[in-house]
Amino acid sequence: MLARLAELGLKGHLSEGVERTIIGVVGSVFPELQEMLEAMEGVDDVVRVSKPFKLSSREFQPSDTTIQVGDVTIGGQEVVVMAGPCAVESEQQLMATARAVKAAGAHILRGGAFKPSTSPYTFRGMGEDGLKIMAAAREETGLPIITEVMTPSDIELVARYADILQIGARNMQNYMLLDEVGKSQKPVMLKRGMSATIEEWLLSAEYILSQGNRQVIMCERGIRTYETYTRNTMDISAIPIIKRLSHLPVIGDPSHGTGKWYLVAPLALASVAAGADGIMVEVHPNPDHALKDGAQSLTFENFRQLMAQLPPVAASVGRRVGTGPQRVSV
Ligand code: PEP
Ligand code: MN
């Protein structure tokens, strides 16, 4: 089947489910194709996917995608918590945060080493030194790490350290970058562009998927609206919309979604109530002195409080908050 599709100049993407195998056909399809495929042995049905996004759609894959990162499963029964500072600032800052979020029950450590900044004069990250500190924190805590990659030429370097590659909001439509992370073996978390429609966001996921990387996680991080009270408007509705349209896991990021620390917990809980597969929150030992995003960062104590509020909300929508990776080296 795949060979025949290739002969026709089309690409077949396989999705093997429990009950049936679905082959997603992409390329310039022609009117006779449907009948040709229907006539082939083993073909039960041929359905035209009407949406512009194909591989990310529920029609292509009815069952949820789950992504395994070490001991953590993203997109399964358990709600996953990613936490850490906006930017890695020093070994001491990151290690203290990693220990605190781990003790409070986080599953994945976040921290930027390459920071996209609206202004060129603000902190732009520690680069590879920051990645080394993240890796050391993983070594000590057992928490897998997620960090941003901003440019195709850095993918190899970042992938050497990271468990999940993050594509930032500003790069959601950097198609060369999407193509290249699509060729990587690492899971990719794709943040929604601040002015992107849901369809544009899914089409960006499509770039990664169509290169062969099926491990894509969507992240709602707020969109720009006329409201100025908050940094962005957290689009909670995007969460159930993505779950309906797509099989990909979706994470809520109320830190960037609101820009204000006291709005992070309520919007994190709302994300989970709306069906998010997890949350990503910024945590800092001393938010007042953070080099980036201090105003939206939780203190250790505030993060602990949020973690205590999460289980009943998860339970109310039939989910659990996992216990987190068990391995801790001493
Ligand atoms: C971040 O996660 O720190 C970040 C820069 O987010 P975004 O790309 O959503 O602005
Ligand atoms: Mn940030």
| pTM (2 d.p.) | 0.95
State if residue 240 touches ligand 1 by the CB under 6 angstroms criterion.
no
Q: 267-282 pLDDT, tens per residue?
A: 999 999 999 999 999 9
State if residue 292 touches ligand 1 by the CB under 6 angstroms criterion.
no
Q: Which residues are close to ligand 2, an ion, with C-beta < 5 A? A: 86, 293
208 and 147 in a single domain? The answer is yes
Please give the share of the chain, as a percent, with pLDDT higher than 90: 90
Q: Whose CA is nearest to atom 9 of ligand 1?
A: 169
> What pLDDT is stored for residue 326 in this prediction?
58
33 and 127 in a single domain? The answer is no
> What pLDDT is stored for residue 20 in this prediction?
86
Q: How many domains does the chain have?
A: 2
125 and 16 in a single domain? The answer is no
Residue 328 has pLDDT above 80, yes or no: no
Q: 167-198 pLDDT, tens per residue?
A: 999 999 999 999 999 999 999 999 999 999 99
278 and 155 in a single domain? The answer is yes
171 and 111 in a single domain? The answer is yes
How far does residue 239's CA lie from ligand 2's centre (Å)?
20
9 and 133 in a single domain? The answer is no
Residue 227 lies in a domain: yes
How far does residue 112's CA lie from ligand 1's centre (Å)?
9
In this structure, are residues 302 and 294 in contact, taking their beta carbons and an 8 Å threshold? no
Residue 329 has pLDDT above 60, yes or no: no
Please give the share of the chain, as a percent, with pLDDT higher than 70: 98
| CATH number of the domain residue 138 falls in | 3.20.20.70
163 and 283 in a single domain? The answer is yes
Residue 121 lies in a domain: yes
Q: 29-88 pLDDT, tens per residue?
A: 888 999 999 999 999 999 988 889 999 999 999 999 999 999 999 999 999 999 999 999
Residue 303 lies in a domain: yes
215 and 254 in a single domain? The answer is yes
Residue 61 lies in a domain: no
Residue 58 lies in a domain: no
Q: 309-324 pLDDT, tens per residue?
A: 999 999 999 999 988 6
29 and 132 in a single domain? The answer is no
At 325, the pLDDT band (50, 70, 90 cuts) reads low
255 and 108 in a single domain? The answer is yes
116 and 24 in a single domain? The answer is no
Q: What is the average pLDDT across 5-17?
A: 91
Residue 149 has pLDDT above 70, yes or no: yes
Show the domain range for 25: 2-39
How far does residue 133's CA lie from ligand 2's centre (Å)?
18
> What pLDDT is stored for residue 259 in this prediction?
98
> What pLDDT is stored for residue 330 in this prediction?
43
- What is the spatial distance between Cα 251 and Cα 269, in angstroms, rounded to a whole number? 12
Residue 1 has pLDDT above 90, yes or no: no
Q: Whose CA is nearest to atom 3 of ligand 1?
A: 86
> What pLDDT is stored for residue 56 in this prediction?
98
Those residues whose C-beta lies under 8 Å from the C-beta of residue 327, and which sit 6 or more positions away, are 71, 142
- Which pair of tokens denotes residue 266? 């309520």
Q: What is the average pLDDT across 233-245?
A: 98
How far does residue 246's CA lie from ligand 1's centre (Å)?
23
Pairing state of beta strands 67-69 and 72-74?
A: antiparallel
State if residue 221 touches ligand 1 by the CB under 6 angstroms criterion.
yes
Residue 51 lies in a domain: no
89 and 177 in a single domain? The answer is yes
Residue 232 has pLDDT above 90, yes or no: yes
- What is the spatial distance between Cα 96 and Cα 140, in angstroms, rounded to a whole number? 11
In this structure, are residues 222 and 194 in contact, taking their beta carbons and an 8 Å threshold? yes
